[in-house]
Structure 1
Amino acid sequence: MFSQTVEYALRATVHLADCAPEARTTEQIARVTQVPAPYLAKVLQGLKRAGIVRSQRGIGGGITLAKRPEELTILEVVSAVDPIRRIRTCPLGLASHGEHLCPLHRRLDNALASVEEAFQKTTLAEVLADPNPSIPLCDFPGARGGPRVATEVETS
Structure 2
Amino acid sequence: MILQTLYPLALVLHLTGLTLLAGTTIIDYVVFRKFWRRFQAAPKDGLAVLQVQSLFQPFIITGMLLLILSGVGMMALTGGVFGEQVWFRVKFGIVLVIIANGILVGRRLAARLRGLVKDESGVQQVAGMRRPLGWFHAVQLTCFAIIIVLSVFKFN
What's the TM-score once normalised by structure 1's chain length?
0.32
What's the TM-score once normalised by structure 2's chain length?
0.32
Higher strand share goes to which structure?
1
Higher helix share goes to which structure?
2
Structure of greater relative contact order (alpha carbons < 8 Å, 6+ residues apart)? 2
